[in-house]
Structure formats: C-alpha cells, structure tokens
Amino acid sequence: MNKQEQKLKVLKMLEEGTINQSEALDLLELIGAEKEKEQEKEITIPREPIRVTIPEAPLDFFTNGHQSFSVSAEVHAESIQSLKLLGKNSKVSLRTHTGNNIEIEGWYKAVRNGDPMINFEENDGNYVLNYNVHGVKYLGFDVWVPEVVLMNLYLENSNATVDVSGAIAKRMTTLTKNAHINLSQCQSDNLVAVTKNAHIDMRQVVATKCELSTTNAKINVKNVKAEVGEFVTTNAEIALHDSQITKCNLQTKNAKIWLDLASLNLMNEQTQFEVEGKTTNANIDIFLPEMMELPFKMNASTKRGCIYTDSIDLKVSARDKGYLNAKTESYDYSAVTLDMNLQTTNANINVKGE
C-alpha cells in the first residue's frame, strides 16, 4: 500500500468513527515522516564512481609504446663461426662497418606481464640473438657487423621486412613471411631467401648458388653474378636483368617471366648457359645479346599460344602448333652456347634480340 492509499484509509477510519481527529492527525504525521526518511535514504545511497585512468606512459598511437635495447660485442675475424639473429613482427636490417664489434640497436614491446628475455650469447664463435617468443609482441633491430667473412649468417623474422646489405658469408639465409626481403651488395657461396606473400629484391650480389622463393609476389633480380640461380614464386612475375647466371631456373604461375640476357659475358673460353622457365597463363620473354651472336638451342611449348624467335638460321628438329625444338646453325661448334627449356599455357614464348 502506497502513502496515498494509507492517507485515504486514515481519513475513512476518521469518517467511520473508528478513530478520533487527534488520532487521525498523529497517523497522518507518522505517514509523512516515513516518506521523508525514504526520500533521504534514496538521496544518500552511494554510487559506483566512474574511474578515469591516465596511463603513466604515452599511448601506442603516439609513440608505439616500445622499449629499446642495445648490444656491443667485440669479435675477432678468425673466431666468428656463425651469427644468428631472430626478430618478430618488426623490421630487421643488417649492415657492415669498419669496426671490430657487432653492434645491435633494437626495440621491442613486451606482452603484458611477459618477460621478453632478450639475450645475445656467444659459444665457440657462434653468436645468437634470441628472445622469449611468448614474451614479446614484436622485436626488431638494426645490426652492424665487421667486414669479415662469416661462415654462416642466419636472419629470421615474421610479418616484417628483412633488409641485408654488404654482408659476406659462406652461407647466408634470410627468412620471413608476409613481408619483403631486400638483398644488396652481398657475397655468398650459398644464398637462400624465403618469404610468403611479399616480393624479393636482389641486387649487386655475387654467389655460387642463390635460391629465392616466395608466393603471390614478384621476384626481381638485377646485377647478380652466380653459377646457379633458383627463382620460384606463384601468381607474380619473375624479372631478371643485367645478370650473369650460368644455370638459371625460373618457375611461377599465372604471371610472366621476363629474362634479359643482353649483358651476358660471351668472351669466356667455354661456357654453356642454361635457362629453364615455366609458367602458366602468361608470356615468357627472353632478350638475347644483340651485338654478338649467342648460339642457342631451345625446346619450347605452349598451349593456345605461339612461339616466336628472331633467328634466321634456325635448324628445326620438330615443330607443331605450340611446340618448337630447334637450334641455331652455329650451335654445334661454338664454345659459348645457351640451352633453353621453356613452357607456358595460354600465352606466347618470345625469344629475340635486345
């Protein structure tokens, strides 16, 4: 029963004579007093405060919220066996300098309540930069190494670029995913670069063997000298120019292969160049030296496409629609030759002078 109903009941009791006027006034006063107490109680009930927290450090979108670290380790050229560097979700770069130290300037962001455990350790000439994979959201760094020949150089990253310039190593390996790899002015007996969904760019490199592999992104090779080159991608172009690679294998899908051999050194006493190119749904374009004849042999096939060559002295062994097996007249008695094995679908194969 609410207050209004209680008052009406008191008045009805007064009208019926159940209570007198004095008693009625006392009851009405009591009802009014209880209402005031309830109103006062409603006003004084405590409320949960609205909390506003101002962070001690600036927010990430102002400063990235990362912390820094640095390493300086004196090394001796004859004692370096290997250098292994591991990053995560942030750019990794390596350069050479004239000093005798390995210098690292890095940055990282720790997982909440996680220990990054960043270490740089040496064991019998093997140097390793490592971290707690579960303790950091990202870790990146710039590294400077002495201008010495390393036995093994290994850089691994994820979801961020790896950039290497000027390094010399017997074996050089660069790995990442969903990010670019850039290699320049490097020397190696065995050079390997692997990523996914991002391009690989290699320039001014000398190697005995180089292997580049990615997916859904371009491979670009320029000014490279190597005995063997293996270049593999999918759904993207492979472009090779101004390079001297004795044995070259190029494989992609749904994209063109563009191979410029115009700058090949043909003055060697005896060299047999080999090119194997395979793609689908796109052209294979090969440009030969124009100023000096390069005798060649080719085995080329395509589906729903054509094969073109500028050579006028071609000896044809077999020819059909979309297939050509032939060689130039001078191929059999030349010291420097080129063998080409080319395959595509739904597109043309073009072999011509620059």
pLDDT at 269: 66
Assigned domain for 172 exists:
no
Give me the count of residues in the chain: 354
Task: Give the Cα separation of 83 and 14 in Å (integer).
Answer: 103
> From the first residue on, what is the mean pLDDT of each consecutive set of 10 residues in the chain (354 residues)?
64 69 68 54 38 32 67 78 95 94 92 85 90 92 93 96 96 97 97 98 97 98 97 98 95 97 77 95 92 85 93 88 93 93 97 78
Q: Is 130 helix (H, G, I), strand (E, B) or coil?
A: strand
pLDDT at 43: 41
Instruction: Calculate the CA 102 to chain-centre distance.
Output: 25
Residues 149 and 73 in one domain: yes
User: What is the count of structural domains for the chain?
Assistant: 4
Residues 6 or more apart from 50 whose CB is under 8 A from it?
none
Assigned domain for 345 exists:
yes
Residues 120 and 89 in one domain: yes
Assigned domain for 337 exists:
yes
CA nearest neighbour of 87 among 13, 157, 187, 189: 157
Residue 215 near residue 233, CB atoms below 8 Å:
yes
17: left (phi over 0), alpha (psi -120 to 50) or beta: left
Assigned domain for 325 exists:
yes
pLDDT at 49: 33
Task: Give the Cα separation of 242 and 226 in Å (integer).
Answer: 12
pLDDT at 74: 84
Phi and psi at residue 125, in whole multiples of 5°? 85, 5
pLDDT at 5: 64
CA nearest neighbour of 142 among 169, 128, 171, 162: 162
Residues 250 and 271 in one domain: no
Residue 193 near residue 177, CB atoms below 8 Å:
no
Residues 144 and 193 in one domain: no
Task: Give the Cα separation of 240 and 223 in Å (integer).
Answer: 9
212: amino acid identity, one letter: L
Assigned domain for 88 exists:
yes
Residues 156 and 71 in one domain: yes
Residues 261 and 322 in one domain: yes
Assigned domain for 165 exists:
no
Residue 159 near residue 140, CB atoms below 8 Å:
no
pTM: predicted TM-score of the whole model, two decimal places: 0.80
Q: Identify the domain boundary among 197, 223, 255.
A: 255
Residues 271 and 206 in one domain: no
**Distances from the Cα of 21 to the Cα of 4, 15, 28, angstroms:** 18, 9, 11
Residue 129 near residue 119, CB atoms below 8 Å:
yes
Residues 153 and 242 in one domain: no
Assigned domain for 148 exists:
yes
Q: Identify the domain boundary among 223, 255, 287.
A: 255
Q: Which domain holds residue 242?
A: 177-255
Residues 351 and 291 in one domain: yes
Task: Give the Cα separation of 1 and 323 in Å (integer).
Answer: 101
Residues 349 and 292 in one domain: yes
CA dihedral sign of residues 100, 69, 132, 213: negative
Helices (H), 133-207: none
Assigned domain for 59 exists:
no
Instruction: Calculate the CA 219 to chain-centre distance.
Output: 13
Residues 32 and 74 in one domain: no
DSSP H or E stretch at residue 23: helix 21-43
Q: Identify the domain boundary among 112, 133, 160.
A: 160
Residues 283 and 339 in one domain: yes
In the 8-state DSSP scheme, what is residue 29?
Answer: H
